[in-house]
Structure 1
């Protein structure tokens, strides 16, 4: 018997496995084929509905021109809708439509010839081809501003007044903050958390209120929470990318010393200030939407009270941005950039709000601002700990309460 002979059984012939992309593509093809089959034959195999058609129209935008009322409507029901007649305050009026029938989720513009008078309330009743009545109320008739150069210039001016200027004014407190002690810096960061927490609460409530009054064609409250989730994840990804850049720049030194950069728990002061500015900027985008929408329907009282109210309200946001930079040298260009990041979105929001005036879009963007702010609060939290590792002590609790109270009191001066 040979001692070197192997007793292992011969290996089985391995079968070739299909690539992953082929398996996924095959499954996708089966799903698509099944859905197409259901679409073609599913309806014919089911009984017809015995009840009357379900007709639902939601008015998404109202524009008042001299002698006409223009309603942008969307079909939010399951069946097509045809508008046969229209009444304004029980008076029959001629109606012109861009489409004879409005399909599901489609929209069209109805032009009603009616000599409306400014400042008067009107009730518009739309009679469909099946006899259903859909009503829309105009509380106060105000001519819709024309989207011309003067209009856009006014929106830019409003956004600058309520967004950019107040935040830059708040950032002027940086020299005083640079002379503050470590305990005061923690108190100011806690003040920032209080300000941001109040902004998040205010944005959530306003977004839910707008969502409740929207058409619901593309979702209501879900849009607010979708915006929150997407903004939080996007800012988390942005912060991770910024942290990775810093890690690559300092990687050699960290490798030599055996240390590691923990950008997720201890962001640099500059990066933290940038994240705060982005969070506040996204909130101011929603604030600008509210301003523009209120102006478009004649509910915005322009004047010194509005400007001063927003100046006091948003100056505290400027302090929040520079709080992490108390131990950093003051660089005017960097500070100006942070101020524009936080304040300029108010200009963009005012332009969108006045020209689009869509409640669902506004609710989603308000959610985006809330999600960004929540992410910033999570980033600031590690900087609030004292030497004993406590997150909540009298200093931080007092700062958080003061920040929320300050924004609440200054918010009483602002009515949009």
Structure 2
């Protein structure tokens, strides 16, 4: 029998919490326990486990006077140890991605963003550029940066042989999305064969925060016989504004204006997509746990990678403000082993910021699209992110 899962939760109260999740225990109250707490910055709201499972990177969103990335060593028992290395970023940080081929943080990239973008459809959130993440494609040829402020996906070519930092990334284009959608996060599907057997394809799924929707794009790589290994893929829109909202707002609300989607995950086989909604204005410090639980939207994914809108199910998130969700198959050290009951990614961890809790839901039924709570932990420092070791 394998040892319990280890998870880490970070948020807005200057700490990273280590959790132990043992689904074999009969009492749900015993399954998810706090093991240790590590002080880290002012707001460690994004955590990334290095591919070798030996290092945790934590972004300090509210670093003083600027954002920072902190490196922590992961011990044999999962406990964290600061290694005294911190990277100042010069900006507030929301999301950090690591190159899977690099087991440690070797280089920090600063992405240039034009300062002269005009006011967007949302005057409070789109007054300027607002890059909200940076995610490499499956073949490490391009970095996709969703810009919530300009409704664009900015595309940066990656030169892996670059000798200088300023030569490593080159902005070569952008994909314009629907006005006012506010792209927040993106994720790529597994690679697949394209129409030409020599071509490879993927799908890019986009979480749009401001209109609570999803977009889907086809990502097509040029044939290896007619291109160089560094040639970037092309991006073709397939779906836009696939809503993750219910038919009506909550009973105490007059509109959806206070709803903000937060995160999305894709099952390892690429056939189920899960997205989270936050049904109140996001308040990092004073968000309340009182009120109805928020919702997760669960979609079947078709053979062509499109979302089956008719399949959408809205299920309870277990509490309020599910700012981040992650599947157990994302574990760097376990890789989903032991999750065979629903292909892989049997368990979904949900960081409930306003409820100040982490819940673990078990995916069941066809495609793992039914959710049942199996564990819960509370008083975690207003968690904004939860990841699996």
TM, length-normalised to structure 1 = 0.19
Normalized per residue, which structure has more strand? 2
Q: Whose relative contact order is higher, 1 or 2, with alpha carbons under 8 Å and at least 6 apart?
A: 1
Q: Which has the larger radius of gyration?
A: 1
